[in-house]
Amino acid sequence: MATTANGLERPVQIPADGFVLDADLVVPDGALGVVVFAHGSGSSRHSSRNRAVARVLQQSHLATLLMDLLTPAEERVDEHTRQLRFDIDLLAGRLLTATDWASTYPALAHLPVGYFGASTGGGAALVAAAERPDRVRAVVSRGGRPDLAGAALARVRTPTLLIVGGRDEDVITLNERARALMPGPVELTIVPGATHLFEEPGTLEQVAELAAAWFRAHVPLPPG
């Protein structure tokens, strides 16, 4: 593992049922937790938006794991069918694989976990959080589709922040409906003037700051 000015940084491979998932790991000095990213439909660990958010989280002493949820072969299939990106159970399973891997990886084993999900990745993050309530301490969804978590929403007790752009009206409605079904602590924050991808000046920065504050409040374990 390479040592950088910010701690540890390296590409990693996560074993998953006979294949591996590529990921990029950064562990800043004094990390308080690790945030696993679930990218949106048609994206990857190279997402510029998620990487921008990850940099802010790293500055807040949170490790980040940006991973590909699909193998290269699956991505080639999905480019034509666009089906796997909406297979929420499959994507959630990959997140769980990464979560369990992190619990055995020396630089991460002692760290509590958070999920940052974008678009369809928001639904996958909530399904995975429902399956690991003792391990996953917080979820943030950016322009997410929590409605895709379906029946799992009723089992999500992990503190969850839903962030939606003020001009993303259809997704606001979907998030409001999902929030009503979730029994755990959940907040819906609207970023004024933002569309689905938060491309407007300053809007993604707001997302990053909101996410950092949420994770800092909920991920670190209590002293002792």
Contact between 160 and 182 (Cβ < 8 Å): yes
Task: Locate 206 and state its tokens.
Answer: 């707001």
Helix extents (H) in the chain = 48-59, 72-81, 88-102, 120-131, 169-181, 203-218
- In order along its 224 residues, the chain shows pLDDT tens digits of 344 445 899 999 999 888 899 999 999 999 999 999 998 665 567 778 899 999 999 999 999 999 988 776 676 766 666 666 668 998 999 999 999 999 999 999 999 999 999 999 999 999 999 999 999 999 999 999 999 999 999 999 999 999 999 999 999 999 999 999 999 999 999 999 999 989 999 999 999 999 999 999 999 977 75
* CA distances, 20 to each of 4, 49, 109, 122, 205 (Å): 25, 24, 19, 22, 32
Q: How far apart are CA 46 and CA 12, in angstroms?
A: 14
Answer yes or no: pTM beyond 0.85: yes
Q: Which CATH class is domain 2-218?
A: alpha beta
- Return the number of other C-beta atoms located less than 10 Å from residue 80's C-beta: 7
Contact between 188 and 182 (Cβ < 8 Å): no
Find, among 11, 8, 39, 43, the residue nearest to 24 by Cα: 11
